Structure 1
């Protein structure tokens, strides 16, 4: 079971980085399902007990990576924007494009095997980002909490699924064209608020 560690401790940061790099390197040559905690620990040059001090298992590690990477790409694209605008939605879509590209390159062999974990985590995180932005500006919209949460669930799923479909077809158009195709559809959801 993972212990509660000081996330700001340089040793903790370094060890987590080593563990993450190990799983990325292993994922380039081995399917995720075939990777063991022992493989990860060996590649990171740490003990298994050190791994378990940071993560419960390899799935906990994967969820952590997915969350961290998605957060990085979203914050890189939307920065400190404080409200939901067409530009923010455009950048959220592009951040998911960036995210898929990065993860598929870093984990070539395992990318498809953990696609469902990525999808679940990404949709929840996208929804949370939009809800956070919405709450900061809630006086602009109606106040039916269930309706709002449902709409943001549909928006996050539409963004993620649209980008995933584009990616699965081999990115036949560039991401800017994809965004321009998706944006009018996504923006119609906001008329429901």
Structure 2
């Protein structure tokens, strides 16, 4: 894998941070490339070197976080739901500005549906409707229920200023999942 120049990474991170910060101040549709460039302290041309437009930038940011969450799921495959949840909630805490902005913004529907889709995909192998507590239930309904609960819990956590410590919310949601999905 080719090594990426640190200056490029630094510019891309500044651009991503700038667009996230700007989204806390105004609607995404009202943000211009010039606004992003000014906030990131880069030239407009630098943004266009990496992204087609602001929508491409946002899509790539969303995709990056979804891929990171997917990778975390795969690295936690041999863990309990509590342990795996802790890794996810640590990630949410570390990237709280992005997630809280995306879940609270007016354009959140697209992001929320992508997030929900990811949770459904990652929990699908864990849901067994042939035996145990979920025997005879529709796998799709079980997945939709738990994925909606997880996404809703993350939204609630951000909206309430992450007052519940990361380890507590991860442990308690993990216990609930352990009880119902194993």
- With normalisation by structure 2, the TM-score equals 0.64
Aligned to 2:77: 81
Task: Compare 149-158 and 30-39 and name the one that shifted more.
Answer: 30-39
Aligned to 2:130: 142
SS of residue paired to 1:170: coil
Are 2:158 and 1:167 aligned? yes
Preserved CA contact (<8 Å) 1:66 1:118? yes
Residues paired across the two proteins, number: 172
Q: What are the ranges of 5 or more consecutive residues in structure 2 without an aligned counterpart? A: none
2:120 to 117, 127, 143: 127
Are 2:173 and 1:182 aligned? yes
1:76-135 CA deviation, whole Å, 9 max, x = no partner? 4651626xx6x1x3345334423432333468877732544432221111212223xx1x
How far did residue 22 of structure 1 move?
0.9
Please tell me the root mean square deviation across aligned C-alpha atoms, in Å. 4.2
Q: Distance in 2 between matches of 1:80 and 1:92?
A: 5
How far did residue 152 of structure 1 move?
1.9
1:119/1:182 CA distance change after superposition, 3 Å:
same
* 1:98-113 alignment runs, 5 A limit: 98-105=90-97, 112-113=104-105
- With normalisation by structure 1, the TM-score equals 0.62
Preserved CA contact (<8 Å) 1:73 1:95? no
Preserved CA contact (<8 Å) 1:73 1:96? yes
Q: Distance in 2 between matches of 1:163 and 1:106?
A: 12
1:104/1:182 CA distance change after superposition, 3 Å:
closer
Are 2:43 and 1:45 aligned? yes
